[in-house]
Structures are given as C-alpha cells and as structure tokens.
Structure 1
Amino acid sequence: MRAAIITAPEKTEVLEVPTPTVGARDVLVRIRACGICGSDSLYISIGGLPPRQGHMPIGHEPAGEVVDVGGEVSGVAVGDRVVVNPMALADDIIGNGGSTGALADYLLIKDAVRGVSLEVVPDHIPYEVAALNEPMAVARHAVNQVAPRQSDQVVVFGAGPIGLGITIALKSLGVRHVIVADILPERLDKALKVGADAVINSHDEDLTARLIELHGPGDSMWPDRAGTDIFLDAAGVPAVIDAAFGAAKRGAKLGVVAVHKEPISIDFMNVMSNELTIVGSMGYPTEIFEVTKDIVENWEKYNVIISHTFAFDELAEALQCVATPGAADKVVITFE
C-alpha cells in the first residue's frame, strides 16, 4: 500500500509499504479522507519526531471504511464508516511519532474498541466531513474548558478551522450570542454561515466599541468594558490577548486554544482587580467522540470549514498549500 512518510527535513515521500495484517483485536480501515494539520507542517520541517526522525508516517485526522475486523472485536463490522482516535494508544500515537500514519491507503487500529479507538458514523456523512472529527474535538475541548452557560455572550477570535468549530459548538450548546472576530472577510463570511450571530472585522473596526455595541457595557473599575462573558483565542497573536484584556469586564473568562510561539506580557493588576479567569486548552482528553454526535447532526455546517480537497496523488501540492500562509483554511486529502 501507499503511505506518506517524512524522510528528511522538508521532505515527504509517498512510499510503498506492507499492508498491515489484522490480529484478533484489531480493525483494518481503508482510508477515504484525511485532514492535514498545521502540526504536520511542523513535523515535516524538522524531519519527523524522535525516535522516527527520517522515517515518520504522518496523518492523524482520518475517516474511512472498515475492511477487516479481528475476531475479538465487537460493535464494528466490515463496511462501517468510521472516525478514529489517533491518541488511543499512548505509546503509539497515530501520525504523531507513532509507527503508523493515516495518510495511507490503509490504517490498522490496534486493540480496537468502539467508543475508545474508533467510532461508527452514518453512511450519509461525507468522508471529508467525518475527517474533521479530530480537529473538531480540539475545538469542543476548548469550549468545555470555559464551561459556557446558555445566557453567556461570547467572542471567538480567529475564524480558522478551530475558531469555526468553536462557533458551531457554542451554538449547538445554545449559547445566546456568539461573535467571531477576524481580519479576513471571507473567513467572517464562513463564520456567519456556520451560525455566528455577528462578526467583527478587527482590521477595519474598533473591536471594543463593537463589542460594547453588540454585548452592551460591562461592569468594571476601568472604563469602556464590554458585557462579553467569554473571550476565546483561536488566533494565536498577541493583539488578541491585548484586545481581550482591554475589553474584559469583571468576572470575564479568557480561553486560549491557539498556539502562541512567543511569551506575552499580561497586566495582572487588570486580572486581579477584575477577577478575570484565564483557561488553557490542549487536545481532547474526553471529547474525541463527544464531538462526533454534533458533526453527525450538523455536518452541513462543518462542511463549510473545508476550503480545499486534494487527491492522495496530489499530496505534494496539498502540503504546499497548507504551508503557504493565507492559502487555505482546512485541507483534506481524499482517497478513491
């Protein structure tokens, strides 16, 4: 079978490797779609992760069709459409330094347990949408971390895949008012399509003034604060943190799911006096299949997140697209 392998820094090849053999507790999945993550670009740039630098399989956002099931596996049948938990085996994480990757014709799910390592989805869900399951679990965990109430007013910074996933999750939970802020008009259009109540172009508009206009004034010992209850950073730029703390009322929360590559200064007098809460979010400790139900119920909205699809034969072009700033939002590889 074919598999995408990082063979050196900045070099990924599609190589012929043996098709896996199914054991009694395993499931073999024919990959039908696999998303490309920003972390894939990072792994490629450094030549892979130890101990597999120079020969590391990649791909950790798969959806596919079950083609073989071990005799000791229950709840999964040949022909089922499935999504996968790449983190199920802590010592062999799929596409993140483990022995296998999902950018391949087939993926062996070792010690397969439905609801732990894989989950079945209905046949009407397109494979490329099902492949969003892993990154959307990241978005759902970010939402769970800030524990929104239905009465809350929220602003999401960044309308990339995670920010859009957060927006869908918030509205699925019945959150009253969700604003999405970004600097790209086309991304803001997508935010409205997936259910945002309002959008702010933070390049062209006064963010705090618009928040006050939309969410009302907020209680604070400092002037010009918005009635926004929760700020969620899915952008990862220092200006977002400055903007959030500059608009935050007493008791507001800031959730951070974006990767910040440099340290950021924070005014702790502001944090203390307004009793602000800062909450980090990483991965998806319990959300990998929690989000699956929402994808099934709202797959048309999640479909909006996908900006490009490429065939596996076009992998080099797809990776270049992902690595080019501003060229794409979510890229998914499809397999015939």
Structure 2
Amino acid sequence: MLYMTTNGVPQTMKAAVMHHIRDIRIEEVPVPVIAPDEVLVKVMAVGICGSDLHYYSHGRIGKYVVEKPMILGHECSGDIAAVGSEVSGLQVGDRVAVEPGVTCGQCEACKEGRYNLCPDVQFLATPPVDGAFVQYIKIRADFVFPIPDSLSYEAAALVEPFSVGIHAAARTSLQPGSSIAIMGMGPVGLTAVAAAKAFGASTIIVSDMEPLRLEAARRMGATHTINVKEQDPLEAVQQATNGKGVDVAWETAGNPKALQAALGSLRRGGKMAIVGLPPQNDIPLNVPFIADNEVDIYGIFRYANTYPKAIRFLDAGLADVQALVTDQYSLEQTGEAMERALNYKSECLKVVVYPNGLLAAAQIPYAKTPVTVE
C-alpha cells in the first residue's frame, strides 16, 4: 500500500524533459507517490554534471543510451515533503542532501560495503531512470541525509561530486602531509581539490587549460597550478617536488593525455586513481614505468559511504564549494542552463538549476567550526 503522511503536496508538478539531443521541454507531470520506505523531496537545487551534458549532447554514455524522453539531473538537495509509513528518523521539513544511486542492499557488493558496485543500482538521470530536474522526487529514505541549517542547498547538492574526491582519497590512502597531482579542473576536479585538502594533503598540484578553473582551484586549496597550454605538466610536477614526483595522482578529466601525465607524475611506489571516463576504451600507458615503479592504479566508480563525512567537511568550512556556483537558472530555463554549461566552460564553473525558484533556495552562510578527519 502506498502512503503519505502529509497533505499539501500537489498532484502535478513541472519537469524539464529531454525529448531529443539538445531538446528540453517543460512539461506538467504527476508528482510521484511514495512507497512505505521512501520519502518525497521538494527539490531546491540541482547542479549540472558532466554526465548530464553527455546525455544532453550525445544521447548516451557507453552502454547507457537515452531511448525515450527522460529527465536529467542527479546532484540535488531539498526539503522532505512527505515520508512513508515505515520511515523513521526523518520528518517533513527536514533539509536534506540526496544520494542519487539507490542500491539493492542484498548483493555481494552491497554486503561488502562497496554498494557503488551494485549491479542493480537505480541511479538518477541514468537511462532509464529519470532525474532531478523536477519539483519533486521520490527516493528510498536511507539515501537522503539531513543537512544543518548552516549549509546551503547549493553546497548540499555539491556533496555528490565532492563525494567522488572523498572516495578517491580513501581508495588511494591519501594521508596528511601527502603530495598529490590532480589533472583536470572541471567541477569534479575542483571538488577533488577540496577533498584532498580536507584529507590533509600538503602539496596539491593541479593542471588545466582554463585560467578561470585554475584560479578556482587555488581557492579550493591547490598549492600549485599548471596551465597546460603554457607549461609541460610533468616538468612542472618534477619542479614542485624537487624531482621526486607526487605520492598520489588523480585524473579527473577523462582525457588520455591527462591520464598519461598523471601516471608520469608519480614517485616510485605512488598511487594513481582514474576518476574521469575517456571517450575511447583503449589508451596506451607506460607499462614498464608501472612495473618498474610498483605503481598502484585504482579505478573510481562514483563513491560509497561518503555522504555523512562530506556534509561534516562542508559544514565545517573546509571547502567553500559554494564559491564554485557561477550560474543560476530556474527550472523553466533548464535548456539554457545546459547550453551555458556545455558551451561556456571558460566562463562558468558550476551551473545550478532551482526547480522551485531561486528565492526559495536562498543561499545560507557556512558555519566555520573545526572538524576532525577520520
């Protein structure tokens, strides 16, 4: 039996529906009815992600193909509008960050705590699952996380990409005082800088070709920036580390040259994380270098068990991800927002859509209190 605990939720809502490549239309659709173990979230802020842009401009990412009209958007936050009859610990009015991948909880990966590898995950805005460019979404209650009043809706939405960096830090055993090179300063790369800083890296070297993104990386905590149009990244890393190389390298751009540079930047015994997904499957890497230096290589697929820690980090002011928000659009302007994010990467960082209005999602200052990294 489907059940809601509150009145006042409308029966229909507005949604930004992608019908074809670069064709988004605003439509009236039913508000979802929640199951006993679900909550209904009034969506207040949605960040546009690189995967959204891939679906918008190409209609597919690897095996995931848009075959019918669908709704994009998965970096989101909002207010709980209704709770199912079996839900405890959450109530109407709670401000929450939404973890967008609902897993089965029963498979081997889930039981091992690596639920990001669940073969039956239902991930928002991954075909055929609709996403968050809507006024309301339903989601299983264990995938929403309360946020303090001191954290803005925008920052709560950015918990999702920030979690990728936290997961990469855990996978590569990033330690306080470590040196790290991060290749590619898109939104995931920038939040990865913030994660590296939160984990105590003392030398954070980043590369990109856009001055706006390199300056943003400085604000996130980078100690050295490399414009790859002007400087060879390997030479710059060697110079910054006195010829030793870095302890850890993350490639976040999905660029073959950046991946090769990340590998080459490592010291003997270093660790590399592959975060970005390149357009092609096969990329040549220096195998003798990998073997001779005992390099450890880690694949990064989304994240697991990161949201509570990410919320603590951001609420403590360890990373002002709010500063990454450069463009704000209403739900009716979702198509314009996608075009902006797609075509003006030298001018904008994170583009945010507000399904229930910009005024309703007014920014809230950060708290500035200490936090302990565990």
The reply to whether TM is greater than 0.5 is yes
1:102 equivalent among 132, 135, 144: 132
Instruction: Determine helix, strand or coil for the equivalent of 2:314.
Output: helix
Q: 1:289 to 1:213 in 2, by over 3 A?
A: same
2: distance between equivalents of 1:101 and 1:236? 23
Matched positions, count: 324
2:50 equivalent among 38, 42, 52: 38
2: distance between equivalents of 1:193 and 1:240? 22
Q: State the partner residue of 2:294.
A: 275
Displacement of 1:264: 1.6
Instruction: Determine helix, strand or coil for the equivalent of 1:30.
Output: strand
Alignment of 1:147-296 (within 5 A): 147-218=173-244, 226=245, 228-262=246-280, 263-296=282-315
Displacement of 1:8: 2.8
Displacement of 1:187: 1.2
1: distance between equivalents of 2:129 and 2:334? 20
1: distance between equivalents of 2:138 and 2:263? 46
2: distance between equivalents of 1:97 and 1:54? 9
Alignment of 1:24-103 (within 5 A): 24-45=36-57, 47=59, 53-89=67-103, 90=120, 92-103=122-133
1: distance between equivalents of 2:318 and 2:125? 25
Structure 1 residue 20 and structure 2 residue 32: aligned?
yes
2: distance between equivalents of 1:331 and 1:100? 19
> 8 Å contact 2:73–2:125 — kept in the other structure?
yes
Q: 1:54 to 1:46 in 2, by over 3 A?
A: farther
Instruction: Determine helix, strand or coil for the equivalent of 2:44.
Output: strand
> 8 Å contact 2:165–2:196 — kept in the other structure?
no
Displacement of 1:128: 1.5
> 8 Å contact 2:203–2:223 — kept in the other structure?
yes
Displacement of 1:120: 0.3
Displacement of 1:281: 0.8
> 8 Å contact 1:190–1:305 — kept in the other structure?
yes
Displacement of 1:300: 5.8
Worse-superposed segment, 65-74 or 50-59: 50-59
Q: State the partner residue of 2:146.
A: 120
Instruction: Determine helix, strand or coil for the equivalent of 2:261.
Output: helix
Instruction: Determine helix, strand or coil for the equivalent of 1:283.
Output: coil
> 8 Å contact 1:57–1:98 — kept in the other structure?
no
Instruction: Determine helix, strand or coil for the equivalent of 2:320.
Output: helix
Q: State the partner residue of 2:369.
A: none
Displacement of 1:50: 7.3
Which one-letter code corresponds to 1:55 in the other structure?
P
Which one-letter code corresponds to 1:230 in the other structure?
V
Worse-superposed segment, 255-264 or 16-25: 16-25
* 5+ long unaligned stretches in structure 1: 219-225
Q: State the partner residue of 2:16.
A: 4
1: distance between equivalents of 2:225 and 2:80? 41
Instruction: Determine helix, strand or coil for the equivalent of 2:30.
Output: coil
Displacement of 1:122: 0.9
Displacement of 1:7: 2.0
Displacement of 1:15: 1.0
> 8 Å contact 1:91–1:98 — kept in the other structure?
no
Q: Deviations over 1:134-186 (max 9, x none)?
A: 12212221222211122321111112211111111111111221112222222
Instruction: Determine helix, strand or coil for the equivalent of 2:123.
Output: coil
> 8 Å contact 1:137–1:289 — kept in the other structure?
no
Instruction: Determine helix, strand or coil for the equivalent of 2:96.
Output: strand
Displacement of 1:298: 2.4
Instruction: Determine helix, strand or coil for the equivalent of 1:186.
Output: helix
Q: 1:27 to 1:231 in 2, by over 3 A?
A: same
Worse-superposed segment, 296-305 or 126-135: 296-305
> 8 Å contact 1:47–1:54 — kept in the other structure?
no
2: distance between equivalents of 1:174 and 1:194? 13
| TM-score, structure 1 normalization | 0.88
> 8 Å contact 2:271–2:296 — kept in the other structure?
yes
> 8 Å contact 2:184–2:258 — kept in the other structure?
no
Q: State the partner residue of 1:329.
A: 349
1: distance between equivalents of 2:353 and 2:122? 23
Q: Deviations over 1:80-103 (max 9, x none)?
A: 110112111445432222554211
Instruction: Determine helix, strand or coil for the equivalent of 2:102.
Output: coil
1: distance between equivalents of 2:296 and 2:84? 48
Instruction: Determine helix, strand or coil for the equivalent of 2:166.
Output: helix
Displacement of 1:311: 1.3
